[in-house]
Structure 1
Amino acid sequence: MRLLGLGSNWSVAGRVVLVTGASSGIGAGVVRDLVGRGGTVVAVARRAELLEDLVTSTRGGPGRVEAHACDLTRADDVDRLVTNVRDSVGRVDVLVNNAGRSIRRSIAVSHDRAHDFERTMAINYLGAVRLTLGLVPTMLAQGEGHVVNVVTAGVQLRSPLFSAYIASKSALDAFGRIMAREMRDQGVTVTNVRLPLVRTDMIAPTDEFATAPALSVDQAAERVRRAIECRPIAVNELHATAFELLSVLAPGLADRMSHWASRGLTESRAAMRRG
């Protein structure tokens, strides 16, 4: 892991952090980590019952959790969330755009599945952007704020078979970088956390990932928390950065290597099914 553009440490104790996709996986891990360090966490997700379980499980810690059920794909839900959070906690110091969905499917068999791309973009990009736009005015008014976009190392690797997922996360990654450049003199910073594979329910449908190297939820949550504390420009994987450089210097070779790797995974999956 590399933290690019490392800044000074910033304590989460006493700060308000809004985390989306907080009902399970990485989001729930981030909530538990931050509460354990004295943060006030606004936990956002669609599944209200799981959010309440999270509130109960973290009760008694140094910090506290406030749950808000919200469907980030619905504009009116996001606008209502912004108003409710402003009324209940007054300010948001850090926004963690973590909510997301993934899908593994070749473009060749997606000719009648445009909805896969639309649904993925709705949650991974458009929902995150609308929420960010809703909270930015308050951050600017208070003279500081930080946005953490949980994306994927795939934005550098451009891995085959994940076009819908990686395209949506690449859009959020680009949005974050541009926002950071526009607001660098206004106290609002942005970090894109480009995570490798993480062992969550989201990767379970892909057989090959069962034995692939992956971070635990706690390890991923630690990276997100470190991004909050240090506010780097990006958190990258060394191998992904190296491959991104190769893609610039020798794009043909990078494409062939990526194609061979994805073809090997496909053949391996077929062999597993025959077995």
Structure 2
Amino acid sequence: MHTYSLFERLIFPQTYLNRRKLGRELEGKTILITGASSGIGEQLAYLLADIKVHLILVARRVDRLATMKILIETKAAQVSVFPVDLRNEKEMTELLAFLQQLPDGLDVVVSNAGHSIKRSIDQSLDRYHDFTRTMAINYLAPVQLLLSIIPLLTRKQGHIINISTVNVLLLPTPNWSAYQASKAAFDFWFRAAAPELNAKGVFTTSIYLPLVRTPMIEPTAAYRKMPAMSPEHVAKIIGHSMYTKMKIYKPWWLIFGQLASILFRRYWEYSTARKLRQKGQRL
């Protein structure tokens, strides 16, 4: 587990998790976690392992899922693993058919699977597939999944937890157009659907995260020394939301970033463009 620096302890204050309440809330329930084979999804599965729940772990890596199943089932939870690439229509159809046949229905969905990519527009001119791939996993796949299982969740008065990013609530940044557009698309869809879902008795939670130290950020060298939240910490936040049913989680400091996004938008856009021009001239 990553040890926080003094600064990280300030900006990522620990979340209190009442394990007794969590256990009472979840015992006997069926919980689907996408992106379960590493990072946030993996740590959440381990957090819930001591509770008598049925975990359905969805991810692409068969070997990691098999290992997790063995480890978790030494404890209280029952585990079903479903190796699937959510961008693959055939595999997605098989997953949806499996979920529809669950004997005890479905109670909680943690929409965590995602794909990140950093690439400038100039480097993307012949890489349209970057945008279709990113949109497929970050937007279209969770929409397709939820449209299929909303009736299941409605019958159980279930709970949908969307793992999002603070970036969708701030000014967009260069080089991240594919990722930020896809995450914003699903965030808007989920927020638009939330009142309708709530009216059906389905709880909805949006968790807006800062940088998290997961395998997804490793390709970006600049992130390796930046302050980042640990996946174990995020798992506690998700667990806390499962029994409190909170609507939104945001870092305490995000309000200042949102205010700056309004007040200094023109300066941000001007200064960013100038820096990019200067960088281009040096190359």
Query: 1:161, CA displacement in angstroms?
Result: 1.9
Q: 2:83 aligns with which of 69, 74, 78?
A: 69
1:160 maps to 174
Runs of 4+ in structure 1 off by over 3 angstroms are 253-257
In structure 2, relative to structure 1, the CA distance for the partners of 1:253 and 1:233 (3 Å cut) is farther
Q: Look up the SS of the partner of 2:129 in the other structure.
A: helix
- The 8 Å contact of residues 166 and 210 in structure 2, kept in 1 or not, is answered as yes
Q: What is the rounded CA distance, in whole Å, between the counterparts of 1:201 and 1:222 in structure 2?
A: 19
In structure 2, relative to structure 1, the CA distance for the partners of 1:195 and 1:202 (3 Å cut) is same
2:110 maps to 96
Tell me the TM-score normalized by structure 1: 0.85
1:196 maps to 210
- The 8 Å contact of residues 149 and 172 in structure 1, kept in 2 or not, is answered as no
> Deviations for 1:150-209, whole angstroms, at most 9, x for unmatched residues?
111111222332111111111111111111112222101221111111111111111111
Q: What is the rounded CA distance, in whole Å, between the counterparts of 1:239 and 1:194 in structure 2?
A: 12
User: Are 2:125 and 1:111 equivalent residues in the alignment?
Assistant: yes
2:190 maps to 176
Query: 1:256, CA displacement in angstroms?
Result: 5.1
Q: Look up the SS of the partner of 2:204 in the other structure.
A: strand
1:270 maps to none
Q: What is the rounded CA distance, in whole Å, between the counterparts of 1:200 and 1:249 in structure 2?
A: 32
Q: What is the rounded CA distance, in whole Å, between the counterparts of 1:176 and 1:209 in structure 2?
A: 28
- Give the root-mean-square deviation of aligned CA atoms: 2.4
> Deviations for 1:109-134, whole angstroms, at most 9, x for unmatched residues?
21111111110111111111111111
Amino acid at match of 1:35: A
Paired-residue identity, %: 34
Tell me the TM-score normalized by structure 2: 0.83
User: Are 2:157 and 1:144 equivalent residues in the alignment?
Assistant: yes
Q: Look up the SS of the partner of 2:253 in the other structure.
A: helix
In structure 2, relative to structure 1, the CA distance for the partners of 1:90 and 1:13 (3 Å cut) is closer
**Which runs of 5 or more residues in structure 1 are unaligned?**
3-8, 268-275
User: Are 2:222 and 1:208 equivalent residues in the alignment?
Assistant: yes
Q: What is the rounded CA distance, in whole Å, between the counterparts of 2:105 and 2:81 in structure 1?
A: 15
**Which runs of 5 or more residues in structure 2 are unaligned?**
1-11, 14-20
1:78 maps to 92
Query: 1:75, CA displacement in angstroms?
Result: 2.5
Query: 1:92, CA displacement in angstroms?
Result: 1.0
Stretch moving more, 231-240 or 177-186: 231-240
1:242 maps to 256
Q: Look up the SS of the partner of 1:228 in the other structure.
A: helix
User: Are 2:242 and 1:228 equivalent residues in the alignment?
Assistant: yes
Stretch moving more, 72-81 or 146-155: 72-81
> Deviations for 1:69-120, whole angstroms, at most 9, x for unmatched residues?
1221122322221221332443111111111110111223211111111101
